[in-house]
Structures are given as structure tokens and as C-alpha cells.
Amino acid sequence: MYDIVIIGAGPAGMSAAIYACRARKKVLVLEALTYGGQIISTNKIVNYPGFKEISGVDFATNLYEQARDLGAEFKFEKAISIDTKELAVSTNNDTYKTKAIILAMGVNNKKTGLDNEDKFLGRGLSYCATCDGNFYKDRDVCVYGSDEVALEEAEYLADIARKVYVVNKRSDFGNEVEENKLKVKDNVYFIFNSSIKSIVGDKAIEFIEVIDKSGNITNYNIDGLFVALGKVPENNNILKDIKTDDNGFVVAKEDCHTNINHIYVAGDIRDKNLRQLTTACSDGANAATMAIKEMR
């Protein structure tokens, strides 16, 4: 029997583990992939208090080692179901009973929905410029997205690629300052009020078909496509008894309570206005603190 089982080893989950372990609780952290979550693919973090600059890998590793050294147990298993009455989490390997559960599964990349998207993943298609951008040095790439994340991806790629096309379904990105910074770069080309109709290629991407609002189609020869359409919650279909909003994010206030007693939520999977590293860690601290306070 564990005191707290945390699903997800991103910043929110590991922050929760640190707070719970410091309160001398027996903690299990379940993670389907590797520790760190989305932050591990960030090239550098410059907006976290106390660090002028740190890589996502280093930040995540520091959190992991801190939680582990305090006594948190990590098992790299995929959570597949939650028993909300008995407070148990089942994975692909076992079932773990607990006194409290913290949901910190994070988010996934939102896909384009194009038929052959999965075919080109790793063959020219990526969801992370800082992860894969260096593969496209002095080559032509495209960023597909409509918000600040797309601008960040394009800015990173502009220093690497020969040409950077930025396809946006809207007429702007909602951040004129950052948009103007890119407009002065001679290798960045904005394509507004347009969307990608199809990705074409044999073994790798050769070109994309872009359609504008009038129905006109233009082909762009590219080597890499970076999709920046946003994030969707990673719920693994285990939230059937837990209240979520229309987009699948868990409904909870700042105290991180869900609608089920002794089940809490932390990080990007929570329905909230701001999803940043600082708010993820804050959620983790809040969720663990409330779980400890209300533990039966």
C-alpha cells in the first residue's frame, strides 16, 4: 500500500513527489515513457525563477534525482485504469493500491489529421524544432501553427534552415512583437489564411500542398515539416469517472481537487489559463500538500 501514487513523471508529478516524500509519505511515480515530460525536449529554459538558463534535460534530471534521493519510487509502466472507489491504479504490469492519487499525465502534441501524418513521423515530420531542427541545417522547412509556439519554432529554425515557411490558418499569431521579429528575417516566409492540404513523398517528405481560403493550392518543396498546432491532454482513457472540460482537461481549482475524493490533478492536464513550467511545479506542490492534509 502506497500513501500516494502519482501518474506522470513530468515537472508536476516529480514536484508532487518531492513534497510528498519530504512529508515522509510512501510515494510511487508511474511513467509510461521517461521522466521529464514535454520539458525534456526544450533546448533551454530561461523563464524559471532561480535559473538564468538551464536545458530541459538538466532541469528534468535534477527533479528526478531529487525526488528519487528523497525516497520516491519510480516505475516505468503505463497506467491503464483507475479504480476511483478502491483508490487503485492498474498498469500494464500490476495494480497498486494507495491512499491518494495525483494525475499528472501532461499533454500530447495535437496532430494535423492528415491521412499520412504518421507515415512521415521521423521521416521529415516532427513536433519539436529543438529536438530535430539540427537535422535540417541549410535545408527548407515548414512550421504549421497559429500561435506563439509556432513563432518560437520558426525563430529557432530560422538560425538553422535555409528557408522557413510558416503556414497559419489565421491572419496573425496574436503576438505582433514576436511576429515582427521574424518578418525582418530574409529566410522566413509567412503564409497566412492557409492550411496544409496534404503531405507528399515516398520514403520522406518531398513537398506539401497548401490551400488558401479561396481554394487555391500551392506546392512547397520542403525537407522538414514541424507541426505546432497545440497540445491535447494525455488521459489514456482512464478518466471516465473524473470530470473534464469539453477538451478533455481535468476540472479543478487551484487546490487541485478533482470531483473524486482523494484524487488530485497537477500540471498541464488541469483545466487552467496558464500552462508553464512554473505553474506545473506549483500544481504539484498544491496537489501533494492537499493529498497529505486530507489523507485518511
Cα 24 to Cα 72, 193, 228: the distances in Å are: 10, 55, 41
- The string of pLDDT tens digits covering residues 211-223 is 999 999 999 999 9
Residues 36 and 56 sit within 8 Å (Cβ to Cβ): yes
Cα 29 to Cα 89, 90, 259: the distances in Å are: 11, 13, 22
Which pLDDT value is given to residue 278?
94
Element (H, E) at 169: none
Phi, psi of 174 (to 5 degrees): 75, 10
Same-domain status, 70 and 204: no
Question: How far is it, in rounded angstroms, from Cα 261 to Cα 258?
Answer: 7
DSSP reduced 3-state for 161: coil
Cα 33 to Cα 29, 76, 118, 281: the distances in Å are: 12, 6, 19, 20
Same-domain status, 124 and 168: yes
Same-domain status, 217 and 255: no
**pLDDT level of residue 117 (50, 70, 90 thresholds):** very high
Which pLDDT value is given to residue 231?
80
Q: Of the candidates 171, 193, 227, which is a domain's last residue?
A: 227
Which pLDDT value is given to residue 247?
85
Q: Which domain holds residue 20?
A: 2-109+231-293
More confident residue, 110 or 215: 215
Q: Which residues of 157-187 are buried (b: 16+ CB within 10 A; e: fewer)?
A: bbebbebbbbbbeeeebeeeeebeebeeeee
The H helix count followed by the E strand count for the chain is 7, 17
**pLDDT level of residue 45 (50, 70, 90 thresholds):** confident
Q: Of the candidates 172, 197, 227, which is a domain's last residue?
A: 227
- Average pLDDT of the chain, as a whole number: 94
Residues 27 and 50 sit within 8 Å (Cβ to Cβ): no
Which pLDDT value is given to residue 131?
73
Which pLDDT value is given to residue 132?
84
Same-domain status, 96 and 126: no
Q: Of the candidates 203, 227, 251, which is a domain's last residue?
A: 227
Give the residue-averaged pLDDT of 36-52: 84
Give the residue-averaged pLDDT of 39-66: 88
Which pLDDT value is given to residue 149?
85
Same-domain status, 104 and 235: yes
Q: What is the DSSP string of 34-63?
A: -TTGGGGG-S-B-SSTT-SSB-HHHHHHHH
Number of domains in the chain: 2
Same-domain status, 96 and 235: yes
Residue 112 pLDDT more than 70?
A: yes
Same-domain status, 7 and 52: yes
Q: What residues contact 91, with CB distance under 8 A and at least 6 apart?
A: 30, 75, 77, 78, 79, 80
Q: How many CB atoms lie under 10 A from the CB of residue 247?
A: 10
Alpha helical stretches, state H, 54-147: 56-70, 117-120, 129-132
Cα 209 to Cα 186, 205, 253: the distances in Å are: 23, 11, 43
Which pLDDT value is given to residue 233?
87
Same-domain status, 254 and 173: no
Rg (CA), the chain: 21
Which pLDDT value is given to residue 68?
98
Same-domain status, 103 and 19: yes
**Per-residue three-class SS string for 176-213:** HHHHHHHHCCCCEEEECCEEEEEEEECCCEEEEEEEEC
Identity (one letter) of the amino acid at 99?
K
**CATH code (residue 209):** 3.50.50.60
Same-domain status, 95 and 188: no
Reference 96, options 21, 148, 29; nearest CA is 29
More confident residue, 247 or 91: 91
Same-domain status, 162 and 222: yes
Residue 94 pLDDT more than 90?
A: yes
Residue 44 pLDDT more than 80?
A: no
Which pLDDT value is given to residue 80?
94
Alpha-carbon dihedral 182, 188, 189, 191, rounded to 10 degrees: -60
Same-domain status, 41 and 125: no
Which pLDDT value is given to residue 236?
64
Reference 196, options 188, 183, 207; nearest CA is 207
Identity (one letter) of the amino acid at 44?
K
- The string of pLDDT tens digits covering residues 272-286 is 988 889 999 999 999
**CA dihedral sign of residues 292, 98, 280, 75:** positive
- The string of pLDDT tens digits covering residues 149-202 is 899 999 999 999 999 999 999 999 988 988 999 999 999 999 999 999 999 999
